[in-house]
A = this chain, B = another copy of it.
Amino acid sequence: PKSYRIVVLPGDGIGPEVVAQATRVLEIISDVSPDLQLNLEPHDFGGCAIDKYGEPLPESTLKACQEADAILMGSVGGPKWGADAKVRPEQGLLGIRKALGLYANIRPANFASDSLLAYTPLKPEVAKGVDMIVIRELIGGLYFGPRKEQGVSPDPDSAYDTMLYSVPEVQRITRVAAQIALTANPPLIIHNIDKANVLASSRLWRRVVVETLEKEYPQLTVDHYLVDTAAMLIVASPKKLNGVVLTENMFGDILSDEVSVIPGSLGLLPSASLADAPTLPSSSSFKPTSGLYEPIHGSAPDIAGKGIANPVGTILSAAMLLRYSLGLEKEAQAVEAAVRKVLDDEAIGGFGIRSADLGGKATTIQIGDKVVEVLKGL
């Protein structure tokens, strides 16, 4: 059988609870597929690693991640490792992104079920039908450009960060957006977001996006929005951005979080961070790309240990892992279908298969149980 090594980083807060349900799902997939063996290997990462080793990303964890076919993460951080601490869990997150070259962050946002429209802060008619995939450049721009802290000469009274982009950095993330656009038929529209009317880096960005698409993907359609306009549209008429939303690191941090509250609960949404452009799982040229998969929500310390966190975002992240890193499109779709079924009260007819963030009473484990049950029946 085909054997894969999957590193699991449960992390902090509700991380271990939600990851446990996603690994159950992966194990079922492994069990029911005679040709497939998924070896799940837990490692310390984040705040819990700081407690044990004094650093959020220990050498042994990094090494395992580098050798793995894919990584499944929960969440990191918490008040225990505060903003003022010298060593912080976020540093582990930025460190692993950079060390593994995970330059492409992919965040789909859509409604698993129309019944979830009850939970969006938008008017249902504004939100219904929202279906975006945000592609955020993840290891460039202000996050990793040259910087200077306050207190450092020559001007100790100032500090700066640099939004720096090179042509190859923009080319490769544009190709990711293009490949994702091509996973639909007809292909999705690409909405490029920048601030080309003010920033030099955005002018480079836009030029390279346009040139790369014209040269390599002439069949695709791209339009352009300024980041401030995009921030308005996401609230006022988000469907105008349906398709692929392509943007740089800092803008992507802000806009992807803004988008993420539309589908009703952060607990529902998955993400993938890839080290290469995904190829079409259905095509003969499919080549798996290594990646890190995690729900978009944080460690939610206020509900940690209570067993009431929503595991759906993590389970859907496992589905993305099956798709992009293992090329198991059929299995990925089966997991997504199972989640949709569980979330949709009417289809199953029971009360209590939604977690507290969606006004329900189901526990994390009960939701995992139900997804596994449905998955076995598919």
**Partner-B contacts on A (CB < 8 A):** 83, 88, 90, 94, 120-123, 126, 142-143, 145, 147-150, 155, 157-168, 195-204, 207, 227-229, 231-232, 234-237, 250-251, 253-258, 260-262, 266
Contacts and interface: CB of A to CB of B under 8 A. Distances in A.
B160 A161 contact: no
A235 B121 contact: yes
Given A227-B253, A232-B257, A258-B234, A198 B94 contact: yes
A200 B147 contact: yes
A136 to B, nearest CB: 11
A231 to B, nearest CB: 4
Nearest to A228: B257
A168 B157 contact: yes
A237 B293 CA distance: 28
Copies of this chain present in the complex amount to 2
Q: Give 9 closest A-B pairs by Cβ, nearest first.
A: A159-B204, A160-B164, A231-B258, A228-B257, A150-B204, A158-B166, A236-B261, A147-B200, A159-B200
Contacts of A201: 147, 159-161
Contacts of A260: 232
Contacts of A162: 160-163
A163 B166 contact: no
A92 to B, nearest CB: 12
Contacts of A236: 121, 261
A90 B254 CA distance: 24
Contacts of A88: 197
Contacts of A266: 232
A260 B228 CA distance: 11
A204 B83 contact: no
A211 to B, nearest CB: 11
B121 A204 contact: no
Contact of A166 (B157, B232, B258): B157
A232 B258 contact: yes
A256 B196 CA distance: 18
Contacts of A90: 197-198
Nearest to A266: B232
B158 A204 contact: yes
Contact of A142 (B163, B204, B253, B261): B163
Contacts of A83: 196-197
23 contacts: A83-B196, A88-B197, A120-B123, A121-B126, A121-B235, A142-B199, A143-B198, A158-B164, A160-B200, A161-B199, A161-B201, A227-B253, A231-B231, A231-B255, A232-B258, A232-B260, A232-B261, A232-B266, A235-B261, A236-B261, A250-B250, A254-B254, A258-B258
A315 to B, nearest CB: 22
Contacts of A121: 122-123, 126, 235-237
Contacts of A94: 198
A256 B260 CA distance: 19
B257 A229 contact: yes
Contacts of A148: 200
Contacts of A123: 120-123
